[in-house]
Each structure stands twice: as structure tokens, then as C-alpha cells.
Amino acid sequence: MKIICVCGLGMGSSLILKMTVEKALSELGISADVEHSASGTIQGLNPDIIVASEDFRDELAGKSNVVYVKNVVKVQETKDALSAYLAN
């Protein structure tokens, strides 16, 4: 599974979110390739899941594989959001 964590420039909050996602996946016992990137550069990357903060809802509208979190450092929130997405 390929997961891309995104933010505006792909350097700040997406890197923090990547670490949070990795911790959440570890707790869930799920293996995945997790990367981080700028939201505008994900077109050709074809991730299975995009993880982003709520701030990027408008920019990522229309994509069906996005998991949104409110706080990029909250492992439990991220774990819950990923679990809910994967259950569907």
C-alpha cells in the first residue's frame, strides 16, 4: 500500500503527518510505504491513500482516496481516521 501525506509545500506539516501516519499504522499492524509531498505534486504518484489536514479539503476535492485529520500530531485521531477509511 502506498500512502502520501500532503501539505502546501511538502516539507513541514506533511513530514510531521508522515511520522504520525507511520506510528498509527504500526499500532494497527499495517505495513505501507509512506511518503510526504506537496499537495500540488501528487498527480502522477497514484497513491492508494492520501492523508491531509482538514485545511486541504478544497484543494483535494473530488479525490475519493483522501483521509483528513484535524491535528497532524495526534496518533489516535490518525489511527481512527485510517481505520474508518480502510473498513470501507
pLDDT band, residue 10 (cuts 50/70/90): low
Pick the catalytic residue: 3, 5, 6, 7?
A: 7
- In the chain, % of residues over pLDDT 90: 78
| pTM of the shown model | 0.92
Range of the structural domain that residue 17 is part of: 2-80
User: For the chain, what is the domain count?
Assistant: 1
Identify the CATH number of the domain in which residue 25 sits.
Answer: 3.40.50.2300
Based on the residue annotation, tell me whether 7 is a catalytic residue of this protein.
yes
Residue 12 lies in a domain: yes
The predicted structure's pLDDT at residue 44: 81
Side-chain half-sphere exposure of 52, counting CA atoms within 13 A: 25
Angle at 85 between CA 77 and CA 45, to 5 degrees: 100
Residue 87 lies in a domain: no
